[in-house]
Amino acid sequence: MKAWRWMAPAVAVLVVVTVVPIGRVLWTSLHRSNLTAPDQADRVWFDNYVNIATSREWWLAVAATLVLVAAIVLVQVVLGCVFAAALNRWTRAWPVARAVVLLPLALLSIVGVVVWRDAATTGFIVSWFGTGEPGQIGSQIGSLIAVSMAEIWRGTGLVVVVVAVALARVPDTLVAAAMADGVTGRQRWSRVVMPSIGPALAAIATFRVLDTFRVLDGPLLVDQADSAVRTAPVLLWNTQFTEFELGLGAAMSILLLLIGVALTAVVVPLLRVRRAL
């Protein structure tokens, strides 16, 4: 009973900042409401959900979002492990190496998006790889690269920090014992280091999946008419703030929340340490 007394304030705050807004959005999703006529909201029950579920544009946007999430998070985790392993060695000889490497990754997300947008649409990526050739396909490829690289740049620093901290907590005696047993470098990483940092790696990968799934600033800032990257959050943004369809946008929000819950239910078991090994 005492435990509930201590937890009551936190539960109350959680209800106020989470349950109440979600309930309001759910109620709005059951109505046909437009921002230009807020007093003319008609209850349509689940018609908004039916319209979304039968929309080809919605499912294409969701598919594009999931593909981007899978590719971006995979690259972030690989780069994060590589950089963290390098930092774990460098900082022993050069303590300021961590700051030198991580400082560029601490740029504001908008700055990163703009830099990679310019690089992928009019800059060095275009001249090196020919991704920005005139025409809709070339522009779409450039925009896709810009969004992906900006998100990779934004999230890799956090992955590096988490993995580097986890690596620093791996006991030296454990590594030394493995080396004494004659294991190779690859075996030492897969059988000793990975089980030790597995929980941290699983946690940061799950967080990056959910964080990347809601990415909005990148697609909006590289939006160039026909070359726009149509993700589910961008479609929601256009529905809410371009078409002013509040009820339809609220239904999209609820569906995105459910997809996020489903992603968590799939990703967390996949990233269990015993399965990763």
CA dist 177 and 95 (Å) reads: 26
CA dist 35 and 243 (Å) reads: 9
> Does 10 map to a domain?
no
> Does 48 map to a domain?
no
| 59, 71 Cβ separation under 8 angstroms | no
Average pLDDT over residues 227-250: 83
Q: What is the pLDDT of residue 139?
A: 65
Q: What is the DSSP letter of 245?
A: B
> Does 247 map to a domain?
yes
CATH code assigned at 256? 1.10.3720.10
Per-residue pLDDT tens for 48-100? Answer: 899 888 988 889 999 989 999 999 999 999 998 888 888 877 766 566 666 77
Q: What is the pLDDT of residue 66?
A: 92
Average pLDDT over residues 237-242: 85
Per-residue pLDDT tens for 103-126? Answer: 777 777 777 777 777 777 777 777
> Does 37 map to a domain?
no
CA dist 72 and 238 (Å) reads: 24
Per the structure block, which two tokens stand in for 266? 């799939």
What residues make up the domain containing 83?
57-276
> Does 35 map to a domain?
no
> Does 38 map to a domain?
no
> Does 23 map to a domain?
no
Number of domains comprising the chain: 1
Per-residue pLDDT tens for 183-213? Answer: 676 777 777 777 788 888 888 888 899 888 8
Which of 11-15, 153-157, 265-269 reaches the highest mean pLDDT?
A: 153-157
Rounded to the nearest integer, the mean pLDDT of the chain is 79
Residue from 28, 54, 59 nearest 254 by CA? 28
> Does 51 map to a domain?
no
Residues 270, 271, 275, 277, CA torsion sign: positive
